[in-house]
């Protein structure tokens, strides 16, 4: 699933494709992605509108047009990119927007789980639902992070992945941040000391800055790392391999139905 760094890279690609452009028409190829809106309603909402800006909130993408916003969530396999003309859209496309220069902005989603809806600026909050502090926002301070951690009995990994508390972190970067900070992902958040939470906060911010820089350069697909990316995971997806810090074998466990990778030697 695309996480904050990958979604940031996708936002950059969408901004470059849409800058100075007007939407001619919207074409939904998988009707369920815009439900309960109909494809015709989506098209009427955006057709003829000029692009203004792209905004990311956690893992959500907001494409602001004149008088309307398009909310996009990439889910498991979604991505956005431009093609030279609509006939070049791949079979895995869920939707595409025809631009006034003849190109198309494609919402490519092989599993078809993504969502796409038009809303007024006031209606965006209702679509997003409860969403926490963005992990790269200036408001995401160590003090606010400590307060959030101190208010839950959830395991550290589950706490970090709760988008109502910290927005943008997913399975990969939550595991990597906990490894950098030396914290066992199974430890209840309430039991982690203030000093270690400060260290974890710094690790999250630094990790996401590094991964975002890498993703902007080379991101191509959801759920993994492309060959051009220089960011490499220390624990994620490396079960049984030696920890780069202490050389103990990396372990995998399940938390909330998701795989968690950690080092039993470094993380306690």
DSSP string, 135-185: TTSTT--HHHHHHHHTT--SBHHHHHH-TTTEES--HHHHHHHHHHHT--T
Residues annotated catalytic, as ranges: 2-3, 59, 258
| CATH architecture under which domain 133-262 falls | Orthogonal Bundle (1.10)
Mean pLDDT of 28-54: 96
Residue with tokens 């109502």: 164
pLDDT of residue 230: 57
What confidence tens digit (pLDDT) does each residue in 196-243 have? 999 999 999 999 999 898 888 766 555 444 433 557 889 999 999 999
Query: Cα 63–13–95 angle (5° rounding)?
Result: 60
What are 116-125's pLDDT values in tens digits?
999 998 889 8
Q: CB-based burial of residue 91 (10 Å sphere; 0-12 exposed, 13-18 middle, 19+ buried)?
A: exposed
Domain range annotation of the chain: 4-128, 133-262
Decide: 196 and 189 in contact? Cβ < 8 Å.
Answer: no
- Answer whether 25's CB lies under 8 Å from 95's CB: no
Q: Domain 4-128 class?
A: alpha beta
Q: What is the pLDDT of residue 121?
A: 82
């Amino acid at each position: 699933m695309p996480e904050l760094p990958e979604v940031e890279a996708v936002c950059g690609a969408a901004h470059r494709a849409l800058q100075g452009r007007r939407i001619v028409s919207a074409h939904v190829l998988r009707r369920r992605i815009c439900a309960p809106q109909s494809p015709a309603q989506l098209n009427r909402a955006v057709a003829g509108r000029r692009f203004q800006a792209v905004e990311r909130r956690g893992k959500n993408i907001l494409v602001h047009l004149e008088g309307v916003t398009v909310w996009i969530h990439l889910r498991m396999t979604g991505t956005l990119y431009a093609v030279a003309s609509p006939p070049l859209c791949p079979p895995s496309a869920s939707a595409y927007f025809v631009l006034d220069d003849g190109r198309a902005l494609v919402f490519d989603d092989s599993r078809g789980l993504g969502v796409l809806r038009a809303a007024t600026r006031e209606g965006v909050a209702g679509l997003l639902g409860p969403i926490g502090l963005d992990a790269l926002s200036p408001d995401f301070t160590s003090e606010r992070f400590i307060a959030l951690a101190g208010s839950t009995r959830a395991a550290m990994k589950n706490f970090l992945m709760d988008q109502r508390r910290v927005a943008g972190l997913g399975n990969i970067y939550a595991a990597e941040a906990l490894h950098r900070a030396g914290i066992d992902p199974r430890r209840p958040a309430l039991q982690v000391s203030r000093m270690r939470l400060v260290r974890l906060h710094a690790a999250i911010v630094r990790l996401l800055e590094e991964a975002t820089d890498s993703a902007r350069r080379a991101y191509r697909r959801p759920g993994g790392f492309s060959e051009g990316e220089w960011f490499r995971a220390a624990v994620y997806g490396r079960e049984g391999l030696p920890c780069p810090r202490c050389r103990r074998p990396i372990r995998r466990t399940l938390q909330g139905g998701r795989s968690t990778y950690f080092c039993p030697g470094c993380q306690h």
